[in-house]
Chain A
Amino acid sequence: MTKIKSSALILCGTVVLASGLLFAQVQRPGEYPRGVKPSPMMSFFVTSEPIGDGGNLGGLAGADAHCQTLATAAGAGNRTWHAYLSTQARPGQPAVNARDRIGTGPWYNFKGEMIAQDVAHLHGDTMELAHQGNNLNKLTGLTEKGQIVPGLYDYSDPRDTDWDYVKNTRFSTRHEMLTGTQTDGTAFTDAQDHTCDNWTSDKSPAPGTSNGNLNAADGRPNAQIGFPDRNGGGSGSWNSAHGTRGCAQTDLPKTHGIGLFYCFAVN
């Protein structure tokens, strides 16, 4: 009797332990990896949280500071971090290209996995490189805390377009990264807004002027976004897929963004 009992207990323990180990491997999008620190090589991450004022990031300086703060909290503050953002030309002020702000690479993620070798690889500067693509995808586009960024259908919840809901959870679709750039990493050269007024605007479109195409339109507050999971409407572009419904914080979740962006270490 005792023999049967103890072997039953051992069997039970083994089954529970084995299934626990098996499923512990699956890291839910949004979930923090347990007890894992960022690789000392980390030189790329997706911000784990937004600044919170829509497209107003306090300009490039404010966005860079956000990168630096998050990196420092994660123990990677020894590097100089820049946000992957472009700004458009203004009278007396030339455009700034995101690709010119991020050093020369190679860049590695939280786990030490390479995202891209250099600027040309990251952007696909030649036909061959463009077809090959960089190594940024859903499983490598990690935050500074090691989270996979929740994408389409990870958490199917109709409230995921409502900022009042998504601001209180880590587990909602939020895969739209602000970039303000074209596919080659350069700033837009037309007169329309692709950068929420160079990352200073939190305005919504005037009533009745919002178009549904997610394209820029005259006078409409808008920012170009890309998908770290290469998985969204328009195209799977990591840096230039489509626009937003506006620049207010509450506008961004309408298309599954919350105002996150990419950070790269320049050194």
Chain B
Amino acid sequence: MTRPHAYAVLLCALMLASSLMLAQQNAPNTQGIAPPPGSPTPSPARMTFFVTSVGLGKGGDLGGLAGADAHCQTLAAAVGAGGHTWHAYLSTQARPGKPAVNARDRIGTGPWFNWSFAQLGQPQNAIISADLGELHGDTLVQAQRGSNLFKQSARNEHGEVIHGIGDTPPIQHEILTGSKWDGRAYDDKADHTCNNWTSSTTGSAQVGHTDRIGNGSSWNSSNATKGCSQAALESTGGAGLFYCFAVN
């Protein structure tokens, strides 16, 4: 190996290293924060809200509400929060002989606390909402303020922030809800729930944004997906994730 060659390799390595270092510096801190020294012993059992860390992998087909609830329960149990009864925040639309189900009627009465509260015992960012009215903005002032569900508080069951607009891909901030702003089911003929969470092909589902960025800023009702396949969900910054709330 000639000496100029060696210099070139060294230079190349240096440039790459510095570029990678810069990249690290530029990346916003979106991961869970480490508990400060002297924090209380982590107690995931105190968590009563999370975003699923993974979907079911079949787009909008969640196996109906029962399948989605079971997914919440499984993920919660895996991190030691299985003592609660968990429900998915999802609505279903009315069918002949079957009334609609409103997501807001499935999640108990609150207050709901996220992973930060369970892990750190810190109130900051921890309370998602005190009650259903605050969560959904039932009064004008509540609606203008917005709920306390925002990017840093809407964490998954491992305490990780969901990647949103501006973060490193894959962006997964489109959360399945099938709901209107007020947390209730749609009453028109169009599909807003991937056929009540059984379709992984045709149809569409209403989603909200954990980071409240894009098409308005609603956490539970921002826009409709392009389809119900996993690929369709991923094409617009989703992954088939949904919100889980403990009802007790």
Contact = CB atoms under 8 A, between A and B. Distances in A.
B171 to A, nearest CB: 12
B19 A20 contact: yes
Interface residues of A, number: 50
A134 B216 CA distance: 6
B118 to A, nearest CB: 17
Nearest to B16: A16
Interface string B181-218: 11000000000000000000000000000011100111
B124 interface: yes
Interface SS, B side:
loop
Interface stretch (B46-54, B96-104, B145-153): B145-153
B79 interface: no
Contacts of B28: 26, 28-29, 154
Interface string B20-49: 101101111110010000000000000000
Most buried by B among A123, A128, A155, A231: A231
Interface string B69-91: 00000000000000000000000
B148 A131 contact: no
A38 B140 CA distance: 35
A26 B148 CA distance: 27
B146 A127 contact: no
A132 B20 CA distance: 39
Nearest to A184: B144
A78 interface: no
Nearest to B25: A28
Contact of A154 (B29, B137, B216): B29
Interface in B201-243: 211-213, 216-218, 221
A189 interface: no
Contact of A23 (B19, B29, B137): B19
Given A139-B166, A230-B212, A236-B212, A16 B148 contact: no
B15 A241 contact: no
B8 A235 contact: no
B217 A130 contact: no
A26 B27 contact: yes
A152 interface: yes
Given A133-B217, A137-B212, A139-B213, A233 B125 contact: yes
Contact of B146 (A27, A182, A230, A233): A230
Given A12-B16, A235-B145, A240-B145, A133 B212 contact: yes
Contact of B148 (A134, A155, A229, A235): A235
A234 B8 contact: no
Nearest to A171: B25
Nearest to A130: B143
B145 A237 contact: yes
A154 B216 CA distance: 23
A79 interface: no
A153 B152 contact: yes
B142 to A, nearest CB: 9
A184 B143 CA distance: 11
Most buried by B among A19, A133, A139, A155: A133
B22 A23 contact: yes
A132 B144 contact: no
Contact of A16 (B15, B29, B124): B15
A16 B145 contact: no
Contacts of B150: 230-232, 236
A5 B2 CA distance: 10
A185 to B, nearest CB: 9
A124 interface: yes
A124 B143 contact: yes
B95 interface: no
24 contacts: A5-B8, A9-B12, A12-B12, A19-B23, A20-B22, A23-B22, A23-B23, A23-B26, A23-B27, A26-B166, A28-B26, A124-B144, A130-B140, A130-B144, A131-B137, A131-B221, A137-B212, A154-B28, A156-B33, A230-B217, A235-B146, A235-B148, A236-B146, A236-B150
